[in-house]
């Protein structure tokens, strides 16, 4: 397995686990049955950090589609370099930083972490077209 695919796997695991603390908070706030009920406008509000985690998870899923596609394209081309591996590692760490600072409610760092992840995706696009 290439380094790029390992970083993709770690990113998928990270994204796949983000919902767990959110649901634990939902259970703590609404109880087990309330957490399993259909959403309603009358629902008790979740903790602010949990709502930020919800939005961070949604953002991670949206961006995972792009990242995964780029990694798979590079893999199908047999293109694996130190630069592409570093870009994938940077993407993973940027997404981890993004979720942590988002949950903590630090807006400027959240945006910077997102931008670093985006730039890692740009590097992968350049690699797809043989420019990196």
pLDDT tens digits for range 88-109:
999 999 999 999 999 999 999 9
Q: pLDDT band for position 132 (50/70/90)?
A: confident
Burial 21-56 (b: 16+ CB within 10 A, else e): ebeebbeeebeeeebeeeeeeeeeebeeebebbbeb
C-alpha 63 chain-centroid distance: 7
State residue 39's pLDDT score: 86
User: Is residue 131 pLDDT above 90, yes or no?
Assistant: no
State residue 50's pLDDT score: 97
Q: Which residues contact 26 (CB under 8 A, 6 or more apart)?
A: 34, 35, 46, 50
> Could you give the CA distance from residue 63 to residue 102 in angstroms, rounded to a whole number?
15
pLDDT in tens, 5-57: 999 999 999 999 999 999 999 999 999 999 999 988 989 999 999 999 999 99
* Domain 3-38+47-128 in CATH 3.40.630.30: no
Report CA torsion sign: 20, 8, 126, 112.
Answer: positive
Domain ranges of the chain: 3-38+47-128
* Residue in 130, 12, 2 with CA at minimum distance from that of residue 68: 12
State residue 2's pLDDT score: 96
């Amino acid at each position: 397995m290439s380094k790029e695919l390992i970083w993709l796997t770690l990113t998928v695991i990270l994204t796949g686990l983000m919902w767990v603390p959110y649901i634990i908070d939902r259970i703590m706030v609404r109880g087990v049955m309330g957490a399993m009920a259909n959403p309603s406008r009358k629902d008790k509000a979740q903790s602010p950090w949990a709502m930020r985690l919800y939005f961070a998870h949604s953002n991670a899923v949206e961006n995972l589609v792009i990242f995964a596609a780029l990694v798979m394209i590079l893999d199908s081309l047999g293109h694996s370099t130190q630069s592409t591996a570093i870009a994938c590692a940077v993407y993973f760490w940027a997404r981890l930083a993004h979720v942590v600072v988002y949950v903590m409610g630090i807006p400027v760092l959240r945006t910077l972490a997102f931008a670093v992840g985006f730039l890692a995706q740009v590097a992968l696009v350049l690699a797809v077209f043989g420019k990196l």
